[in-house]
Chain A
Amino acid sequence: MRADSTRSSTAWKPTNVPAQNWLAPPPAIGLGCSVLDDLIVPVVHSRLTASPLKLAGSCRPEHVVGDDGREWVRKKHVDGLGVQISGEVVGALLATKLGIPIPEYATSERPRAWLSRWAPGSSPWSEAHNTDLVNEPDLGRILALDAVLLNTDRSARNILVTIDPEESSWRVSAIDFGMAGVSFPARFNIDRDRVLQRGPLPRSVPAHRVHEEAIECAHAAADLTSWTIKQVCAQACALSGNTMEATMAEVLEHRCRNAVRFVEGYFRHLAEPES
């Protein structure tokens, strides 16, 4: 059985880059697509079986396959994902809205878990990718979203680079928004005007080359409607059991409206020399 999604993963192609079937679909635009389509996290009902492959991560992620043959990375609530699913949901839905490459996503109910589509042929970020990405501008958009969501966990492991076998080229995508400030609404409220610091972001990430795209993305985030932001937070809270939906939505809207300021501030930190 397939995920209850009506969206097609083949309809969208990022600039100059062939689509890959594990990527999340683009924002639904045009006739025949509901505005709600890209604000709903699909649910996978098929049985998922874990493989012996060992994955690194604090939430004990597992590599699983569904009845339909689709492979996922699963993070179960009971293994420590807990409220962090809020961040995953907000990150995934906003990334989809803003055209930021992330793996296709879904949830499962038994066990309750966050599913991120397995990307074959992928590795974490390394210095070697500084100059060989075919979608480098997307890196700027990823950093912009992190700045808005106060995501302090953009380590090399959470920047996925995946080989395209036809062109032997690498493309970047973002995974893991669980530790973003938005997952913890009370703290998110206290930090509502905080500018993200570099944190674990590798120094080899060429932030200086993607500043322009980051600012463009910040403008797009600032233009998100209140309704969209509230829908995103409603989904996040419904799936995580978080009861602070109003706080989450209010702070997120504040940060989206001021996204350009937060992104500029973040990039200033990124430009600082290593101490």
Chain B
Amino acid sequence: MSAAEHHHGLPKYRVVQYVVNPFSDFRVPVAVVVRHDSGETESIAAPHIPEPECLGNATAYAHIRALGPQLARLDSIDTLPEILGPHFTFGSIQHLPKNKAWRQWLLEVVLRRDVTASESAAKRAPRLSRVSRRLFASHGVDRLVQDNFRLPTPQGVLLEPVTHWADGGAIKLLMEPLSPKRTHPSKDMREAAGRLTIYRYHLDDAEKFKLVAYTLPGLEKSVKQDLRVAVAGIADVYDIADPEMESAFIKLVRQGSPPLVDA
């Protein structure tokens, strides 16, 4: 059965998201617009908005709350009213699941999520840090690389961690991997680029840090290209599918790291 046949007769829906941070692509679902087969549409506003502390942004919280009445009156699955402004965007068009009390499902499953819709898929996929560890292990530099580099902002808020880092004393190497084994490499790419961008702007002493993104073999060309554009001027990109670049990258990890104590 084709996908079209499978979804025939099922109403479509689209999640309205609020972009809390355009650079990390952090969004929260704030409403759903449903279009029935008859062409009628209806809008369901999220019953719960994450607290300002969860959003990390009191303005975003106030903005979503203030526009709540507008969100409950959306009447198109194609375009959002201009009055909402650029913070509000549509997700992709989806079909409601068969054999479900869809309204309850939307309220309890789709709108209850407090992070972007792909989070559950990302959880099922192998963790980025684990997948890329094999690369380091195969070159004997596994012990030089640590997981999760975190940096507090001047306001004391911890930024989302960079996946890997190596401490070279004078220079810290911050690394973001991209793997074809993940469910949504494009989304991983956007998130990695967002993290690197944010760190680039929060690092007080930029000379003491080198930011790098590396792509593991098998990743789509388009994702690699998008990555290069997204982090241009922010981070160096190493394509591990290219033996020369792989060698240069491993050399960088070795140089950017102190010698092993027992080496």
Contact = CB atoms under 8 A, between A and B. Distances in A.
A53 B86 contact: yes
B82 A124 contact: yes
B83 A165 contact: no
Interface in A158-179: 163-166, 168, 170
Tier of interface size on chain B: 20 to 34
Contact of A49 (B62, B70, B197): B197
Chain B binding surface SS class: helix
A125 interface: yes
Q: How large is the interface on A (under 10, 10 to 19, 20 to 34, 35 or more residues)?
A: 20 to 34
Contacts of B82: 56, 124, 156-157
A164 B61 CA distance: 11
Contact of B19 (A53, A68, A125, A166): A53
Majority secondary structure, A binding face: mixed
B69 to A, nearest CB: 8
Given A128-B70, A156-B82, A121 B22 contact: no
A54 B86 contact: yes
Interface in B148-182: none
Nearest to B84: A123
B201 A67 contact: yes
A52 B63 contact: no
B128 interface: no
Given A49-B234, A52-B25, A156 B66 contact: no
Contacts of B65: 168
Contacts of A165: 52, 58-59, 61-63
Given A123-B85, A126-B83, A51 B22 contact: yes
B157 to A, nearest CB: 13
Most chain A CB neighbours (cut-off 10 Å) among B62, B86, B190: B86
B59 A121 contact: yes
Nearest 4 CB-CB pairs, A to B? A123-B85, A126-B83, A51-B22, A121-B59
Interface of B: 19, 22-23, 25, 52, 57-63, 65-67, 69-70, 82-87, 89, 190, 197, 201-202, 233-234
Given A54-B89, A122-B85, A165-B63, 14 more contacts: A55-B86, A63-B22, A65-B23, A121-B62, A122-B63, A123-B84, A124-B85, A125-B83, A126-B70, A128-B69, A164-B62, A165-B52, A165-B58, A166-B58
